[in-house]
Amino acid sequence: MEYSTFGRHVAVDTWGVDFEVLNNAELLQAHLVEAAEACGATVLSVQAKQFEPQGATVLVMLSESHLSIHTYPERGFAAVDCYTCGETVDPQLAIDYLVSILKPEKAYAKKLIRGLGELKVETPALGQQAELV
């Protein structure tokens, strides 16, 4: 059997997101699972942690790699990333889904192309909900 090392890793910093959305690990967990399904990934497990006094981290382990969010509600900030191996699952679809849910005022994104040698960095276009800066 031949395996591909090719992968895409999309990371986005979102700013100006509603406090209540960012401070709800249960809600974020449901949205991350939906995002994984939207991009065609296979969910293996989910870990979620609600922090006190605020903040959340959700990690979705995928057969293809991972999808995660780390939130700082007091700053309106969330760091979101999705890495997938192979060519059949597009992590950009998961990121676009999450940006449409988070509705940030601003979003800054980068895509890394991995497993082909030197890392290639691109700036992806995000969904219309976010202003790409």
Measure the CA–CA gap between 21 and 71, rounded to whole angstroms: 9
Measure the CA–CA gap between 117 and 60, rounded to whole angstroms: 27
Measured from the Cβ of residue 37, the count of other Cβ atoms closer than 10 Å reads: 13
**Helices 91-102 and 25-38, interaxial angle, to 10°?**
140
Measure the CA–CA gap between 18 and 2, rounded to whole angstroms: 45
Both tokens of residue 102?
Answer: 């988070």
- What are the two backbone dihedrals, phi and then psi, of residue 18, each rounded to the nearest 5 degrees? -55, 130
Catalytically active residues, by annotation: 65, 70, 85
The residue assigned the tokens 């293996």 is: 44
